[in-house]
Amino acid sequence: LSQKALWPTAYGKIAARMIFANLLRDVIRKNACVGCGTCVAACPASALVMQDDMPRLAGACIRCGYCYYSCPMTSDERFRGFEEMRDAVERAAFGAVRQEPFGVYRAVYVCEGVEPEAVAAAAMKYLLRTGSVDAIATYGFGRPAMEQMLSRQRNPLAPVPTVITSEEDVDKVFRPAVVVAPSGMALRGAAYELMASFFQESYVPRTCYVAPPQHIRAIWRMRLGWCGSSKLERAVKFTIAVFGRIICSSSGIRTALAKKGVNLAAISGYELREGKLVLRVDGGEEEVPLEELGEAVHQGMAKVADPTGEFADISVGLVGGRTFLIARSEQGERVVSGMVAEGLVRVRRASESDLDELRGLYS
């Protein structure tokens, strides 16, 4: 089916279909892959695995094209890319187009003295407790969703795709990340494991997808493209983008830390503290300033110009040392109001100078 323009039909000529070989050529070999794992999640033949932040073919490809048409970094005859289709994506997502460089929004808040991940975690708990969603598909440090599709043990700094179904588990597994995680595979975990069929009726799990901006784009790619994986995108009812973190590639950070003499195998955990990556190594601590991780920055993630998670229901991230919370959709605004009313997060409205900081990210 792929690659060949098929013979004309009564409805016109059927276009050639792009498959994994095209994804390899158009995205992966151009270092444009953002490591989201959506292609792996979308493959109905389970022919792909994630290895060192990249998808690899590890089985028989049935040339269906789902991987190509679900990837946030590809374009096709109906979806011509996020830059060219920006207004159309915004109308579909928010019913409006942006008036500000940082995208469509209904309200912008500043949350003083709290990390973006803590605000995202509060939103996840709120959504689970109010029964707004059945599950959270995200990245974390728990048991990986779709473990068999991660080709080998990942390094201890790398979070894994994770499905969270209870409030208590949010804090156990979700914390700041410095290495890209194939969060899209968590969507497959949620969509396939929680989907149920009764008498020919399917129950599609209502899922909140929490990921970096570059990964959130995959949802709109699937919704607006020619043939994305509807099993995955139908399950997503709410999206949260976490922005403003330096995200490294797994291999890049391995090399950077090895150069500094850090034994990766001895790392038992880490945290981000005042602009430093603080590693727990052999019972002690080792500090690495974030600016020294420059060469480890994930090349694909760095190529996507979306510094504030422009296509998510809510975006939360760090700018100039402060945490910004942007409610973009109507649903996003409702969730933020609910969180504030319950005292889960303390916010103040962003001032004009705060908004200037967001604008500054685009200049």
Instruction: Report the residue number, 29 or 91, with the smaller CB distance to ligand SF4.
Output: 29
DSSP 3-state assignment of 30?
coil
Contact mark string toward ligand SF4, 326..345, x via CB under 6 A: --------------------
Q: Would you count residue 213 as binding ligand SF4 (CB under 6 A)?
A: no
* Cα–Cα distance measured from residue 166 to residue 290, given in angstroms and rounded to the nearest whole number: 33
47 vs 119, beta carbon nearer ligand SF4: 47
Radius of gyration of the chain (CA): 20
Q: Is residue 73 within the footprint of ligand SF4 (CB under 6 A)?
A: yes
Rounded to whole angstroms, how far apart are CA atoms 58 and 328?
39
Residue with smaller CB distance to ligand SF4, 42 or 108: 42
State the minimum distance, in angstroms, from the CB of residue 316 to ligand SF4: 22
CB of 182 to ligand SF4, least distance (A): 6
Return the residues of window 3-22 that contact ligand SF4 according to CB under 6 A. 19-20
The CA distance from 338 to 335, in Å, is 5
Tell me the CA end-to-end span of the chain in Å, nearest whole number: 44
User: Counting contacts by CB under 6 A, is residue 37 touching ligand SF4?
Assistant: yes
Backbone φ and ψ for 192, nearest 5 degrees, come out as -85, -40
Should residue 304 be labelled a site residue for ligand SF4 when binding is judged by CB under 6 A? no
Neighbours of 197 (CB within 10 A): 8
Shortest spacing between CB 243 and ligand SF4, in angstroms: 17
The pairing of beta strand 201-203 with beta strand 8-9: unpaired
Q: Which of 7, 38, 89, 153 lies at the binding interface for ligand SF4 (CB under 6 A)?
A: 38
Q: Which residues pair with 271 in a beta bridge?
A: 278
Among positions 64, 93, 145, 194, the unique one binding ligand SF4 when judged by CB under 6 A:
64
Among 6, 15, 45, 97, binds ligand SF4 (CB under 6 A): 45
Task: Report residue 44: phi and psi, to 5°.
Answer: -70, -20
71 versus 253: smaller Cβ distance to ligand SF4: 71
Please give the helix or strand (H or E) that residue 23 lies within, else none. helix 20-23
Nearest distance from C-beta of residue 22 to ligand SF4, angstroms: 9
> For every residue of 70-108, which 3-state class applies, written as one string?
HCCCCCCCCCCCCCCCHHHHHHHHHCCCCCCCCCCCCEE
Give backbone dihedrals phi and psi of 26, rounded to 5 degrees, phi first. Answer: -85, -25
For ligand SF4, the closer of residues 109 and 311 by Cβ is 311
Residue 241 binds ligand SF4 (CB under 6 A): no
> Does residue 27 belong to the site contacting ligand SF4 (CB under 6 A)?
yes
Kindly report the number of other CB atoms within 10 A of residue 133's CB atom.
23
140 lies in the site for ligand SF4, by CB under 6 A: no
Rule CB under 6 A: which residues touch ligand SF4? 19-20, 23, 27-28, 33-39, 42-43, 45, 47-48, 55, 61-67, 71-73
